[in-house]
Amino acid sequence: MSDGNMQSATTKVGENLLDVIVDNDIDIEGFGACEGTLACSTCHLIFTKEDYDKIEDKPTDEELDMLDLAYGLTETSRLGCQVIVTKEMDGLVVKVPSFVADARNPS
Ligand code: FES
């Protein structure tokens, strides 16, 4: 993904996108470093506007704070570990930023 390749993944409703990536053995260096505890921002994903609007849960203040530290933030960015898969999200395409920033190790 981060090198421009497309990878597909299967998932179940109710999983978060970090689990989806881990369960499908999609190897993205440094991704999900804090294992979904909202402490790193390495699970930053960029959605299309259409898909972004389909995400049921809006970001919490904690997620927005962490997103601020993510590299290449866009208006349709979310943290993958905070996004729960719903039926409406079938066919979702997400982009992984080309650089992963770990907020725990600012460089
Ligand atoms: Fe660290 Fe999502 S995995 S914030």
Q: What interface predicted TM-score (ipTM) does this complex get?
A: 0.99
pTM: 0.88
The residue to mutate among 71, 81, 104, having the most atoms of ligand 1 within 8 angstroms of its beta carbon, is 81
Beta strand ranges found along 1-107 (DSSP E): 44-47, 77-79, 94-95
Give residue 71 CA to ligand 1 midpoint distance, Å. 13
DSSP classification of residue 94: E
Give residue 35 CA to ligand 1 midpoint distance, Å. 6
CA distances from 48 to 28, 32, 35, 40, 75 (A): 20, 21, 24, 23, 10
- 44: part of which helix (H) or strand (E)? strand 44-47
Give residue 56 CA to ligand 1 midpoint distance, Å. 19
Residue 95, phi then psi, degrees to nearest 5: -110, 140
Atom of ligand 1 nearest to the CA of 81: 2
**Looking at the DSSP assignment, which residues form a beta bridge with residue 78?**
45
Residues with C-beta less than 6 Å from any ligand 1 atom: 18, 32-34, 36, 38-43, 66, 79, 81
Per-residue pLDDT of the chain (107 residues; tens, 9 = 90+): 456 788 888 989 999 999 999 999 988 889 999 999 999 999 999 999 999 999 999 999 999 999 999 989 999 999 999 999 999 998 899 998 876 677 777 55
DSSP classification of residue 16: B
Instruction: Please count the CA atoms within 13 angstroms of the CA of 31 that sit on its side-chain side.
Output: 24
CA 33 and chain centroid, separation: 12
